[in-house]
Structure 1
């Protein structure tokens, strides 16, 4: 009998020549456990997914409860199902008036694809604007929005009429015109290494889109669902998008995404053509049950209230000459080091010592710190002790 590792290497498609190859038998809270008792403190939450920790009891209960009722019934939007209906209502309650129409999908990339189509259909325009070092997904459309040429040159030609602006650069906003269907922006840039725009910039962007009739699409696939200390990151900038995308942290570990807009905009999919956007598994009842439980956990357990203090604990504990700076909004953090070569050694050593972290696609000299929001101050201290040990092994001052 082949081992799981052998099966993984022989039959499961690989995307690098050096996968982590950690074998995980179970996970609970902020920890993952290997088959031989290895324990890893998870500082990346499955890249922003496990915001309420691994296997939160209320999420598991919600999943089990739905399993006893039904699984997939019909393609999106044809049959009334309680889990997506209740989740859509709960999401609308977290948002400003008007953002009350939710289209459920299965992933962040799919949410972006839907938002792109919706913007074009509603405005009748063709130009899409994104930003340098943006990351919005890996499908052909979402890849067209990505801002790193190295990540997409091998897949060209991609979508035409997609243009990129310099992030957080006010003069570039003049390039948004009456040709522009939508401006698509991560509220906090993730794979660029946690780049937070200024409030003045975000408000100027909102004003420019309103002036020329372009839709503002905010991508909160990584930074939504409490990651930054407010339920939605855009709450901290005093603006409201026309379309909002989310995924990752909304499912409690289950696959789900959504794009959210006003009914006036979303109704564009109802005609010319009818069924303007279709998904088979969007709004899957089990994923929606898990997502509703996740939303309720964040609210009822007060997870937002300690995000800022927990982020400050990381920043205080990781004060080290080898760490040049720590950028963050809440528990979406990037600790910048001298180079990828140094960072990679630190990460590999930390994993051997029981702490899992990594780097960013477009900022490979910065360490990703995005633990479950449920992490305790004691667990933060444990993680930082190990990270500092790893740093000291490879950085001499």
Structure 2
């Protein structure tokens, strides 16, 4: 039995079968590269699915983990620590939440959306607001509440009945106008639907959503779990539209690889939760919040929001230049990019990319998703184009 067969057999025997067989067994990483247990090097253009903002083993990340772990790792939510308070102040500032902005911290994006779902239920003065709207093809998580918000029937069906009151509408301004009324407690939207294939909302959608929800007293909740922390070329993707939501959910990139999620509220929404209505044993612990402070601080210090915008333009331009009949074009913002394919070969292309030393992801059969670390440079963009071309050529040769 080879080493490869050995670890795969161990996975098959002991790991819960809710996921497919892993593509490789990774051992270490540095910057935008990782190495597997056989010494093979990969250019990581997925970053743990938009998580590793600073790449792998960044000195700022490593120092934050080791320093805080040696000082104080966990205290429960009966106490406050300076890292948690600092992170609340930092993230409300970056989000532009103003004097009324507040933050709650949990451990993941799904938990953040659960907190937002409960916030929506609290926006029900008089008991008349019973409807919660989300979008067709939306992805908000896999817990029961966040799955209820997720507009993908194939993910939902095995777990129904789910928490009620959620309706899924098309991502069109016409559907918004037909659906938002005084009975709606909240509207949940992703500014870019990453799991649907990196699909942006139509022009003017967020502006219309803000106007309609404000008119009818509903909360506008923007899921920034995949798009936040500078990934799209602004701190949060809603900022491109020039609107102010009632709440945003965050996770992934704010921790740079350390598990953390959160809910940031604006204005009236900041007063809805009262003592005892929500909590988390590990949420906001000093270790997680210290790391998130360090990650966000380095993104700000190093100009990585601007770098995401620049490198995203470069990558999309390189994709558009590719001479391959399989490539239909590129979409997205900053370093959250979907590469459209003319044939449903995304799965095969991911496999060939791995063989070429490149990590990307099949968002669906006809879309490759890339979400590299925010630290990538010109050389990384060039290397991506070369390795992705090799993978494209290998798939095309078999057709």
Q: TM-score, normalised by structure 2?
A: 0.93
In the alignment, the residues of structure 2 paired with residue 311 and residue 262 of structure 1 have an alpha-carbon distance, to the nearest angstrom, of: 29
In the alignment, the residues of structure 2 paired with residue 6 and residue 83 of structure 1 have an alpha-carbon distance, to the nearest angstrom, of: 42
- The answer for the alignment partner of 1:289 in structure 2 is 290
SS of residue matched to 1:269: coil
Which sections of structure 2, spanning at least 5 residues, go unmatched? none
Which residue of the other structure, out of 60, 65, 68, is the alignment partner of 1:66? 68
Structure 1 pair 262/203, CA: closer, same or farther in 2 (3 Å)?
closer
Q: Which residues in structure 2 correspond to 1:46-61 (within 5 Å)?
A: 46-61=48-63
- The answer for the alignment partner of 2:103 in structure 1 is 102
- The answer for the alignment partner of 2:390 in structure 1 is 389
In the alignment, the residues of structure 2 paired with residue 324 and residue 264 of structure 1 have an alpha-carbon distance, to the nearest angstrom, of: 44
Which residue of the other structure, out of 332, 345, 352, is the alignment partner of 1:328? 332
- The answer for the alignment partner of 1:180 in structure 2 is 184
In the alignment, the residues of structure 2 paired with residue 276 and residue 263 of structure 1 have an alpha-carbon distance, to the nearest angstrom, of: 19
SS of residue matched to 2:253: helix
- The answer for the alignment partner of 1:9 in structure 2 is 12
Q: Which residues in structure 2 correspond to 1:275-314 (within 5 Å)?
A: 275-314=276-315
Cα offsets for 1:254-306 (capped at 9, x unmatched): 00000011375334322xxx400021110021111110011111110011222
- The answer for the alignment partner of 2:120 in structure 1 is 119
* Cα deviation, residue 253, structure 1: 0.5
In the alignment, the residues of structure 2 paired with residue 139 and residue 44 of structure 1 have an alpha-carbon distance, to the nearest angstrom, of: 23
Checking the alignment, whether the CA contact within 8 Å between 2:169 and 2:175 is kept in structure 1 is no
In the alignment, the residues of structure 1 paired with residue 209 and residue 389 of structure 2 have an alpha-carbon distance, to the nearest angstrom, of: 40
* Cα deviation, residue 168, structure 1: 3.0
In the alignment, the residues of structure 1 paired with residue 246 and residue 273 of structure 2 have an alpha-carbon distance, to the nearest angstrom, of: 16
Aligned length: 387
2:168 is the counterpart of 1:164: yes
Checking the alignment, whether the CA contact within 8 Å between 1:326 and 1:336 is kept in structure 2 is yes
* Cα deviation, residue 199, structure 1: 4.1
- Say what the alpha-carbon RMSD is for the aligned residues: 1.7
- The answer for the alignment partner of 2:80 in structure 1 is 80
In the alignment, the residues of structure 1 paired with residue 282 and residue 276 of structure 2 have an alpha-carbon distance, to the nearest angstrom, of: 15
In the alignment, the residues of structure 2 paired with residue 171 and residue 353 of structure 1 have an alpha-carbon distance, to the nearest angstrom, of: 43
Structure 1 pair 69/390, CA: closer, same or farther in 2 (3 Å)?
same
In the alignment, the residues of structure 2 paired with residue 104 and residue 390 of structure 1 have an alpha-carbon distance, to the nearest angstrom, of: 40
In the alignment, the residues of structure 2 paired with residue 209 and residue 57 of structure 1 have an alpha-carbon distance, to the nearest angstrom, of: 43
SS of residue matched to 1:277: coil
Cα offsets for 1:6-60 (capped at 9, x unmatched): 43332121224x4234111111111111122111111111111011111211011
- The answer for the alignment partner of 2:135 in structure 1 is 131
Q: Which moved more, 1:329-338 or 1:162-171?
A: 162-171
Q: TM-score, normalised by structure 1?
A: 0.93
In the alignment, the residues of structure 1 paired with residue 339 and residue 87 of structure 2 have an alpha-carbon distance, to the nearest angstrom, of: 35
- The answer for the alignment partner of 2:349 in structure 1 is 346
2:359 is the counterpart of 1:356: yes
Which sections of structure 1, spanning at least 5 residues, go unmatched? none
In the alignment, the residues of structure 1 paired with residue 134 and residue 211 of structure 2 have an alpha-carbon distance, to the nearest angstrom, of: 17
In the alignment, the residues of structure 1 paired with residue 167 and residue 329 of structure 2 have an alpha-carbon distance, to the nearest angstrom, of: 31
Checking the alignment, whether the CA contact within 8 Å between 2:45 and 2:358 is kept in structure 1 is yes
* Cα deviation, residue 103, structure 1: 0.3
In the alignment, the residues of structure 2 paired with residue 285 and residue 186 of structure 1 have an alpha-carbon distance, to the nearest angstrom, of: 29
